[in-house]
Amino acid sequence: MARDTLTGSRIRERRAIKGLRQADLARRVGISASYLNLIEHNRRRIGGKLLIDIAQVLGVEPSMLSEGAEAALLAALREAAADAGTPLVETDRADELAGRFPGWAEVLAWSHRRIASLERTVETLSDRLTHDPRLAASLHEVLSTAASIRSTASILAETGELEPEWRDRFHRNLNEDSARLADSSKALVAYLDDSEAAQDTRGAPQEEVEAFMAAHGHSFPDLEEGRVAAEELVETAPELTSRAARTVGQAVLAQYRADAAAMPLVPFREAVARHGIDPLALAAVFAVDLPAVFRRLAAMPPGALPEEVGLVICDASGSILFRKPLTGFALPRHGESCPLWPLFSALNRPLVPIRRRVSQLGRTAAQFECFAIAWPLGQPRFDVDPVYHSIMLILPVLDSGATQAQPVGSSCRVCPREDCEARREPSILSDGF
């Protein structure tokens, strides 16, 4: 049945939803009930002013009656029928289904989108299993241990009388393998558990350094006052387990000590009390550059500032070098972050300070005031391209007001924003997932 011949069916459906009798609708639009009955049974065509009057009474757009469901809904119904692979599905009557039963048609289309979304999620997890070496190694350990236990148990169960020496050996192997399986399973669960109570699973040197800084509250008063050396802090830190992490930690503490010498704690806190968290004013007071001010603000001891601050540093490739988390702020360390963050925008304009209010997409649209700047490392030299780093200071916005905020996400894979020019790939959170 053609779409334009279903107008009457849609009128009847909408009238029933609104709770109007046929006679009442006919009276309100100035026609007889018998004529409206012919229209609703698709025996009379309708258009023009009469269609507009009926749509107005029913509280819908005239196009909803004349055209029915949107093209996207019809396309979704046909796609669902095609994916089902059932030859008896009446795909040529999708218009009639959408016109007569729009609610059920929406449910069917939503279910198909939901299934497709879940399938993509499974593909994503499969991709993670393929490319995540730690996860693959953990699963291999679990599977190999389970196979060993199964083999030992099979020998004990299927073999007849065993010499006591061999039986004790198999029992000992079974006990050791089961303990190893329990430990491997706990480690795997801890790795997959994203909650704050999960065991810390640092792998990269930068992650170990971030855990080291977090354990000290990002502040080292003994180091500032000369009561302890940076080397001692690094060598005795339980968070820095690898040589690479200790090397990175040494560099971070050296930079921390230089910033503290340029901006001592007491004078710096007094300057913040006078000027607030104004990076430009603080840079002028201490005659330092903005990156130093950003780092110093992020290194204040707990309670020294009127509000919580976060910090992110990256190189010119966009790789995150350091990250101090902030409540409600989500910027992934690994993978491809949202390019709309001012941290990355600053790389396009080195030495130009950028201030942006951004809205973090999620369950709640948290807003942050971001200050960013990119700067070259070392002294400029002829015929040598400079190496740039970018730094971003993040402040929470408690009262968003009417100020326009730039929507940003964590990464394209988990960002629900569809109309984004910066999108690189579809999101697994689309289609209501």
Query: Quick check: 338 and 415 in contact, CB under 8 A?
Result: yes
pLDDT at 242: 82
User: What is the distance between the alpha carbons of residues 418 and 5, in angstroms, rounded to a whole number?
Assistant: 34
pLDDT at 1: 42
Report DSSP letters for 285-336, one per residue: HHT--HHHHHHHHHTPPTTSSSS--EEEEEETT--EEEEE--TT----SSS-
The mean pLDDT value for 201-212 works out to: 74
Return the minimum-mean-pLDDT range out of 156-160, 385-389, 396-400, 413-417: 413-417
The mean pLDDT value for 65-89 works out to: 65
The mean pLDDT value for 6-10 works out to: 79
Query: Quick check: 205 and 244 in contact, CB under 8 A?
Result: yes
pLDDT at 49: 78
Does the pLDDT at position 32 exceed 80? yes
User: What is the distance between the alpha carbons of residues 322 and 325, in angstroms, rounded to a whole number?
Assistant: 10
Share of the chain above pLDDT 70, in %: 77
Return the minimum-mean-pLDDT range out of 26-35, 135-144, 224-233, 318-327: 135-144
pLDDT at 200: 45
pLDDT at 255: 92
3 state DSSP class of 374: strand
What confidence tens digit (pLDDT) does each residue in 373-396 have?
999 988 888 888 899 999 999 998
Most confident of 102-116, 256-270, 406-420: 256-270
More confident residue, 295 or 317: 295
pLDDT at 293: 95
The mean pLDDT value for 423-431 works out to: 67
Radius of gyration of the chain measured on its C-alpha atoms: 32
More confident residue, 93 or 145: 145
Average pLDDT, the chain: 79
3-state DSSP percent of the chain in helix, strand and coil, to 5? 55, 10, 35
pLDDT at 363: 43
pLDDT at 433: 37
pLDDT at 260: 92
3 state DSSP class of 234: helix
What confidence tens digit (pLDDT) does each residue in 233-261 have?
998 888 888 888 899 999 999 999 999 99
Return the minimum-mean-pLDDT range out of 175-184, 200-209, 362-371: 200-209
- With tokens 């309670």, the residue in question is 303
pLDDT at 205: 81
Does the pLDDT at position 194 exceed 60? no
Does the pLDDT at position 406 exceed 70? yes
Both tokens of 322, joined, read 């350091």
pLDDT at 51: 85
What confidence tens digit (pLDDT) does each residue in 297-332 have?
999 988 788 888 999 999 988 888 888 888 767 666
What confidence tens digit (pLDDT) does each residue in 88-126 have?
557 667 777 776 777 777 788 778 777 876 776 666 666
The mean pLDDT value for 39-57 works out to: 83
Does the pLDDT at position 201 exceed 50? no
Return the minimum-mean-pLDDT range out of 51-55, 65-69, 116-120, 362-366: 362-366
Residue 402 — very low, low, confident or very high, per pLDDT cuts 50/70/90? Answer: low
Long-range contacts, stretch 308-313, CB < 8 angstroms, 24+ apart: 308/396, 309/277, 309/393, 309/394, 309/395, 310/368, 310/393, 310/394, 310/395, 311/391, 311/392, 311/393, 311/394, 312/343, 312/391, 312/392, 312/394, 313/389, 313/390, 313/391, 313/392
Output phi, psi for 90, to 5 deg: -90, 80
Query: Quick check: 112 and 84 in contact, CB under 8 A?
Result: no
User: What is the distance between the alpha carbons of residues 206 and 248, in angstroms, rounded to a whole number?
Assistant: 7
Does the pLDDT at position 131 exceed 70? no
| Of 342, 341, 347, 309, the residue nearest 327 (C-alpha) | 309
Give residue 101's identity as a one-letter amino acid code.
F
238 alpha-carbon distance from chain centroid = 30
pLDDT at 401: 62
Contacts of 410 (CB under 8 A, 6+ apart): 330, 331, 332, 337, 338, 360, 361
More confident residue, 64 or 36: 36
Contacts of 23 (CB under 8 A, 6+ apart): 33
pTM for the predicted model, two decimal places: 0.54
Output phi, psi for 413, to 5 deg: -65, -30
pLDDT at 94: 72
Query: Quick check: 344 and 320 in contact, CB under 8 A?
Result: no
Contacts of 395 (CB under 8 A, 6+ apart): 277, 307, 309, 310, 368, 369, 370, 371
